[in-house]
Amino acid sequence: MSENYFLSRKSCRNFKDEKISEKEIENIVTQASKAPTCGNMQLYSVIVTEDKDKKKALANYHFNQPAAVTAPIILTICADFNRFNRWCKINEADAGYDNFHSFIVSMTDAIIFAQQLMTIAELQGYGTCYLGTVNYNAKEISELLKLPELVIPVASLAIGLPAIKGEETHRLPIKGILHKEFYVELTDSEIKEIFKIHDENPDNKKFLEETGKDNLAQVFAEIRYPKDLNEKVSESFYNLLKEKGF
């Protein structure tokens, strides 16, 4: 079963208009909290957004993508050194988590937790979708969710019962991602070869027509994830880290 699930899993972008009970969320979170964590510090938190108005506001910060709009719940998983830091202060320990490394450690913890939560939810029949837009409006999301010092949103998961099955995922041949003993850069022709799976995908070809670009790489680099946007988000996200005390 497990092999089958992992090989065939798909993200879900359209959900039924059905609630998930508090108890079910707590059950999933309890299981996910057994995921590995640095030094057993559990440097993460999860905020459940279910209230209609709040979810509308949050979906808006995720550019109203269908997964965010249709999901009954959005979970925002945060890198969180606040709780641990406070425990240290209460115990008069000389805590020093106001730095970049502590953010990286807590972000790692948070993503591990998020992914475990996703797998547990999907194995229970829920559909899920990461909202990759979480970094774009991280400051606005932080305000909406009232995130305090040393808490940064790093993953958003739309979750619910699937209305429409997700599309099959095409991935690069593992030759492209697996290296033995040390990293060997692929040749140009090997790169071209492994990316054929995307270049030749009819779903991707429609992007060329829509955008007038010559090839899929240009669609990614110049339209979907353009340099100026990446630089703008770099600055706002880095500023948020500083503002929140990392």
Structure tokens at 231: 């630089």
Instruction: Please count the residues of this chain forming the interface with a second copy, following the rule CB under 8 A.
Output: 118
Angle made by CA atoms 242, 75, 21, in degrees to the nearest 5: 150
Which of positions 2-41 make contact with a second copy (CB under 8 A)? 2-3, 6-9, 11, 25-26, 29-36, 38-41
Angle made by CA atoms 244, 134, 33, in degrees to the nearest 5: 80
Give the nearest distance from C-beta 163 to a second copy in angstroms.
Answer: 19
Give the nearest distance from C-beta 97 to a second copy in angstroms.
Answer: 7
Give the Cα separation of 160 and 60 in Å (integer): 18
Angle made by CA atoms 196, 203, 5, in degrees to the nearest 5: 80
Residue range at the interface with a second copy (CB under 8 A); choices 13-21, 64-72, 221-229:
221-229
Closest Cα to residue 78, out of 45, 29, 33, 111? 45
Which of positions 44-103 make contact with a second copy (CB under 8 A)? 44-51, 54, 78, 80, 82-84, 86-88, 90-97, 99-102
Q: Which of 24, 115, 207, 211 binds a second copy (CB under 8 A)?
A: 115
Decide: 107 and 121 in contact? Cβ < 8 Å. Answer: no
Q: Which of 52, 174, 202, 212 binds a second copy (CB under 8 A)?
A: 174
Regarding 212 and contact with a second copy (CB under 8 A), the answer is: no
Regarding 222 and contact with a second copy (CB under 8 A), the answer is: yes
Give the Cα separation of 119 and 207 in Å (integer): 30
The residue written with tokens 């993508």 in the block is 65
Q: Which of 68, 155, 158, 159 binds a second copy (CB under 8 A)?
A: 155
Regarding 181 and contact with a second copy (CB under 8 A), the answer is: yes
The residue written with tokens 């970049």 in the block is 100
Q: Which of 23, 125, 146, 212 binds a second copy (CB under 8 A)?
A: 146
Residue 98 phi, psi dihedral angles, 5° rounding = -90, 60
Regarding 209 and contact with a second copy (CB under 8 A), the answer is: no
Q: Which of 57, 163, 208, 221 binds a second copy (CB under 8 A)?
A: 221
